[in-house]
């Protein structure tokens, strides 16, 4: 019967801790990237609508893509800060030999993502309601299609 080497076991625990931290790091980068893209895409849609209709559509003060994108960026930053704190906490628990699993960070992140996901539902429903065809919107779509088609053909001749 072979005995486990405590030095090897501790090394594996530290490596597992680092892998967990890196997984949280990837998650935070994904949240920040998605939030940034969402906010910029919302701004792009607002500017496109303004250029096509010459009318500024007022944004909902709470449920808009800029606020949701900003919330995701903030959540990503908070995620990496909490992950670094948890990594350091687990590091010292491993060193002292008194590791205690703690699921509170998992539940905190789950709640934050559920909250932001729930807040995105009115944004999606609001966009769908706004997309009911009117003569002006149909004209805008036709202009947009023609503009895209012309850009495509122009790029092929370059």
For the chain (158 residues), the mean pLDDT of every run of 10, in chain order, is 71 93 94 88 70 66 77 93 95 91 89 85 62 57 68 58
Structural domain total, the chain: 1
Residue 143 lies in a domain: no
Which residues form the domain of 103? 8-131
CA-to-CA dists, residue 67 to 1, 4, 30, 116, angstroms: 60, 52, 17, 10
At 8 the pLDDT is 81
User: Quick one: residue 97, left, alpha or beta (phi over 0 = left, psi -120 to 50 = alpha)?
Assistant: left
Assigned domain for 2 exists: no
Does the residue 150 lie in any domain? no
**Position 144 in a domain:** no
What whole-number distance in Å separates Cα of residue 76 and Cα of residue 27?
7
Please check whether residue 1 lies inside any domain of the structure.
Answer: no
The answer to whether residue 101 sits within a structural domain is yes
- Is position 91 within any domain? yes
pLDDT value at residue 76: 94
Residue 5: the pLDDT is: 75
Residue 1, pLDDT score: 45
Whether 151 is in a domain gets the answer no
Q: Which residues contact 129 (CB under 8 A, 6 or more apart)?
A: none
């Amino acid at each position: 019967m072979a005995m486990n080497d405590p030095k090897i076991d501790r090394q594996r625990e530290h490596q597992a801790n680092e892998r967990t931290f890196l997984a949280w790091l990837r998650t935070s980068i994904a949240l920040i990237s998605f939030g940034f893209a969402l906010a910029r895409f919302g701004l792009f849609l607002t500017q496109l609508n303004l250029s096509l209709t010459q009318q500024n559509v007022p944004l909902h003060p709470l449920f808009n893509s800029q606020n949701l994108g900003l919330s995701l960026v903030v959540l990503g930053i908070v995620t990496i800060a909490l992950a670094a704190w948890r990594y350091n906490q687990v590091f010292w628990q491993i060193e002292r030999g008194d590791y205690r699993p703690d699921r509170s960070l998992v539940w905190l992140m789950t709640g934050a993502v559920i909250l932001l996901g729930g807040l995105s539902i009115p944004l999606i429903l609001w966009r769908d309601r706004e997309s009911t065809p009117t003569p002006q919107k149909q004209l805008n779509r036709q202009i947009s299609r023609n503009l895209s088609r012309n850009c495509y053909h122009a790029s092929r001749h370059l």
